[in-house]
Amino acid sequence: MLYRTNAQSSPFEQVLLQEGIPYKIFGAFKFFERKEVKDILAYIKYIINPQDSVSLKRILNVPDRGVGKTSVEHVE
């Protein structure tokens, strides 16, 4: 199977897993290593714990809000 972006792989991966069909993905990250998955998890962690500065730093500028690196570094 060929697809253009990693986001397109998710439905295929789900079906293959459900059906017990082995597969390999080349040139891609594992699901939980993908940037978009890490970003969503950071949002969830921050919602659960607003004191989680690591998650806040990750999501502060996702999507782009024009927050600079210096401002992000000052988050505690």
**Sequence-separated (6 or more) residues with CB below 8 Å from residue 41:** 32
pLDDT at 28 over 70: no
45: domain range? Answer: 35-76
Query: Same domain for 19 and 41?
Result: no
Query: Same domain for 6 and 27?
Result: yes
22 φ/ψ angles, rounded to the nearest 5 degrees: -70, 150
pLDDT at 53 over 70: yes
| Mean pLDDT taken over the chain | 86
* Most trustworthy range by pLDDT among 11-15, 27-31, 38-42: 38-42
The C-alpha atoms of residue 51 and residue 7 are separated, in whole angstroms, by: 30
Query: Same domain for 42 and 76?
Result: yes
The predicted structure's pLDDT at residue 75? 77
Vertex 7: Cα angle to 44 and 5 (nearest 5): 145
H helix count then E strand count, the chain: 4, 0
pLDDT at 74 over 90: no
Query: Same domain for 5 and 18?
Result: yes
The C-alpha atoms of residue 54 and residue 42 are separated, in whole angstroms, by: 8
Query: Same domain for 47 and 72?
Result: yes
